[in-house]
């Protein structure tokens, strides 16, 4: 058996491509051959849930819900674990001596179980219950899209102008031109190719 020396976290668009092109076996074989594990994050799963095409969404969800992937805990869980570790380190007196873990264990089991739970419902494309948080999330997505398409703060004019107009003003009509122009205007920005 090969030693696993790395994990691969695949993004939503790659999972969609794999599902659309029936390439899951090729991806699995490539990961196994290279000694890598494929990890799936709940954030990616929730992005995939937003795919509007039912067939594509179901197919992609079924693929990412496979039990042979490394299923990551939600980011909030990981962040809370870090905070808890720091509290233990810096303020051990704040730690409850005999905490009741019943609810925490139940919620954690929902995420780590090999069948059923979050990942089982995900593979079956069972919709999540509507909560105040999910409604707020939907509203935040709408607001972010509106903000992103509405205006961009122009460094030259120090005022908000429509994004397309701003691009036109700095002479950008293609992505390549935008990259060259941005490197000229802001040479200290790091460009990732």
The winner for highest mean pLDDT among 74-78, 127-131, 178-182 is: 74-78
- Residues 149, 111, single domain; the answer is no
- Residues 12, 98, single domain; the answer is yes
Instruction: Kindly indicate the confidence band of residue 27, based on its pLDDT and cuts at 50, 70 and 90.
Output: very high
Q: Tell me: pLDDT of 130 over 50.
A: yes
- Residues 80, 115, single domain; the answer is yes
**Residue from 126, 149, 166, 130 nearest 118 by CA:** 126
Element at 109 (helix H, strand E): helix 102-112
Per-residue confidence (pLDDT) for residue 82, from 0 to 100: 93
- Residues 94, 154, single domain; the answer is no
- Residues 81, 148, single domain; the answer is no
* Domain count along the chain: 2
- Residues 20, 106, single domain; the answer is yes
Q: pLDDT digit string (tens) for 37-67?
A: 999 999 999 999 888 888 999 999 999 999 8
**Residue from 69, 153, 51 nearest 114 by CA:** 69
Gap between the Cα atoms of 57 and 55, Å rounded: 6
| DSSP helix/strand/coil, 120 | helix
- Residues 177, 111, single domain; the answer is no
Last residue of one domain, picked from the residues 91, 109, 128: 128
Q: CB-based contacts of 27: which residues, under 8 Å, 6+ apart?
A: 10, 18, 38
Gap between the Cα atoms of 137 and 145, Å rounded: 12
Per-residue confidence (pLDDT) for residue 123, from 0 to 100: 80
Tell me the residue range of the domain where 66 lies: 6-128
Per-residue confidence (pLDDT) for residue 154, from 0 to 100: 46
- Residues 78, 106, single domain; the answer is yes
- Residues 148, 76, single domain; the answer is no
Tell me, yes or no, whether 134 lies in a domain: no
The winner for highest mean pLDDT among 101-110, 149-158, 167-176 is: 101-110
Gap between the Cα atoms of 72 and 74, Å rounded: 6
- Residues 81, 36, single domain; the answer is yes
Residues of the chain with pLDDT > 90: what percent?
35
Q: Tell me: pLDDT of 93 over 50.
A: yes
- Residues 112, 150, single domain; the answer is no
Last residue of one domain, picked from the residues 104, 128, 152: 128
Tell me, yes or no, whether 133 lies in a domain: no
Q: Tell me: pLDDT of 19 over 60.
A: yes
Tell me, yes or no, whether 172 lies in a domain: yes
Q: pLDDT digit string (tens) for 154-178?
A: 455 445 555 556 556 656 555 555 5
Residue 18: exposure state from Cβ atoms within 10 A (0-12, 13-18, ≥19): buried
């Amino acid at each position: 058996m090969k030693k696993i020396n790395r994990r691969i976290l695949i993004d939503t668009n790659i999972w969609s491509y794999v599902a659309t092109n029936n390439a899951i076996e090729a991806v699995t074989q490539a990961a196994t051959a290279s000694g890598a594990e494929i990890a799936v994050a709940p954030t990616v799963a929730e992005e995939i849930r937003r795919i509007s095409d039912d067939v594509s969404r179901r197919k992609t969800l079924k693929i990412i819900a496979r039990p042979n992937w490394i299923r990551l805990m939600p980011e909030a869980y990981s962040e809370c674990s870090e905070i808890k570790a720091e509290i233990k380190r810096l303020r051990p007196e704040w730690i409850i001596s005999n905490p009741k873990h019943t609810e925490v264990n139940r919620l954690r089991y929902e995420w780590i179980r090999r069948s059923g739970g979050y990942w089982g419902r995900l593979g079956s494309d069972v919709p999540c219950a509507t909560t105040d948080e999910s409604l707020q999330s939907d509203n935040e997505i709408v607001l972010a899209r509106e903000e992103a398409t509405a205006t961009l703060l122009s460094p030259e004019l120090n005022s908000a102008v429509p994004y397309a107009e701003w691009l036109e003003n700095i002479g950008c009509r293609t992505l390549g031109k935008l990259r060259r122009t941005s490197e000229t205007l802001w040479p200290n920005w790091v460009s990732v190719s």
